[in-house]
């Protein structure tokens, strides 16, 4: 029982670590796909075309975004590793200078006398801790434990999972027929998705949940409104 609880706790902690990537991937997926659907509806395009455009956008844009997230995270990891190697080299070859830099950093934080020397001794006793401390105090760099590959996978997964919501009713209608107003139900389901992802966004950013939900819904509505208007204008201008 305890083992199962520990496993569940670890999985939840892991999910929390990547919640930011899940939220922003989901927001982008839902907004961009809903904008495609709205623009196609504004242009009076057939449902089959909406599905084709929607899924093409969903898969291609999601992949592009996830690759960008992966490359960005990997660049940060590589940059940290490069500076970390430099710090280890300096500690190995110039220990007195590096020790004095630790002393100066903690003196600036208010440590003095014997307490200051105790802190310096503790930090410089372990070279890995010493390097990490120098990275944080001297370069203001904190090691990110999140995997770049996992960041990319989470971003793509959330983009697909949330981004497919605006298309789900059209897919339903295409496969077996939908009894109601397809676009109206697509809007309602999409705004439900915006509500969920907006709530999660408030958890990540620390803002009031209602504010997070409202910001996400307004963003989605504006994107859809602009896309619908553009589709309608172009349809009138091109088709006449």
pLDDT in tens, 172-226: 998 888 888 998 898 899 889 888 888 888 887 788 888 888 888 888 888 888 8
Instruction: Note whether residue 120 is domain-resident.
Output: yes
Tell me: do 154 and 217 sit in the same domain. Answer: yes
pLDDT value of position 13: 57
How many domains are contained in the chain?
Answer: 2
Domain membership flag for residue 4: no
> Where does a domain end: 94, 109, 138?
138
Of all residues in the chain, the percent with pLDDT exceeding 70 is 93
* 8 found inside a domain: no
pLDDT, position 201: 83
- The residue among 81, 123, 88, 83 whose CA lies nearest residue 102 is 123
Residues of the chain with pLDDT below 50 are: 2-6, 8-9, 11-12
Q: Is residue 42 part of a domain?
A: yes
Pair (113, 230) in one structural domain: no
What is the rounded distance in angstroms from the CA atom of residue 195 to the CA atom of residue 216? 7
| Dist CA 106 CA 208 (whole Å) | 37
Are both 121 and 228 inside the same structural domain?
A: no
Q: How far is CA 108 from CA 137, 177, 187, 191, 223, in A?
A: 11, 70, 56, 51, 49
- Structural domain including 213 reads 26-73+147-238
- Does one domain contain both 129 and 39? no
Q: What's the confidence (pLDDT) of residue 155?
A: 92
Statement to judge: residues 133 and 151 lie in one domain? no
Q: Are residues 68 and 129 in the same domain?
A: no
In a domain, 31, yes or no: yes
Measured between alpha carbons, how far is 216 from 237 in angstroms, rounded to an integer?
Answer: 32
Q: Residue 135 to residues 97, 104, 120, 121, 184: CA-CA distances in angstroms?
A: 15, 14, 15, 17, 53
Give yes or no for a contact between 48 and 177, defined as CB atoms under 8 angstroms apart: no
Q: Do 68 and 120 belong together in one domain? A: no
Measure the CA–CA gap between 188 and 3, rounded to whole angstroms. Answer: 41
- Of 113, 138, 163, the residue at which a domain comes to its end is 138
Does some domain include residue 48? yes
User: Is 39 among the domain residues?
Assistant: yes
Q: By C-alpha distance, which of 223, 207, 231 is closest to 29?
A: 223
In a domain, 6, yes or no: no
Indicate whether 166 and 224 sit together in one domain. Answer: yes
Both 65 and 85 in one domain: the answer is no
């Amino acid at each position: 029982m305890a083992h199962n609880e520990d496993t569940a706790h670890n999985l939840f902690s892991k999910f929390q670590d990547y919640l930011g990537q899940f939220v922003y991937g989901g927001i982008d997926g839902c907004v961009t796909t809903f904008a495609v659907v709205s623009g196609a509806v504004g242009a009076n395009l057939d449902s089959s075309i909406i599905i084709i455009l929607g899924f093409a956008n969903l898969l291609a844009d999601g992949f592009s975004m996830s690759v960008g997230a992966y490359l960005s995270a990997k660049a940060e990891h590589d940059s940290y590793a490069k500076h970390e190697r430099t710090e280890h080299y300096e500690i190995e070859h110039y220990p007195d200078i590096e020790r004095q830099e630790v002393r100066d950093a903690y003196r600036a934080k208010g440590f003095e006398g014997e307490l200051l020397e105790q802190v310096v001794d503790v930090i410089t006793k372990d070279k890995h801790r010493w390097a990490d401390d120098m990275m944080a105090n001297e370069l203001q760099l904190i090691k990110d434990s999140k995997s770049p590959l996992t960041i990319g996978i989470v971003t793509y997964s959330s983009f697909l999972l949330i981004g497919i919501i605006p298309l789900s009713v059209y897919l339903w209608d295409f496969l077996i027929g939908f009894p109601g107003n397809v676009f109206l139900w697509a809007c309602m389901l999409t705004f439900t998705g915006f509500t969920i992802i907006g709530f999660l966004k408030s958890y990540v950013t620390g803002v009031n949940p209602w504010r997070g939900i409202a910001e996400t819904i307004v963003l989605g509505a504006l994107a859809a409104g602009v896309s619908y208007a553009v589709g309608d204008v172009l349809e009138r201008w091109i088709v006449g």
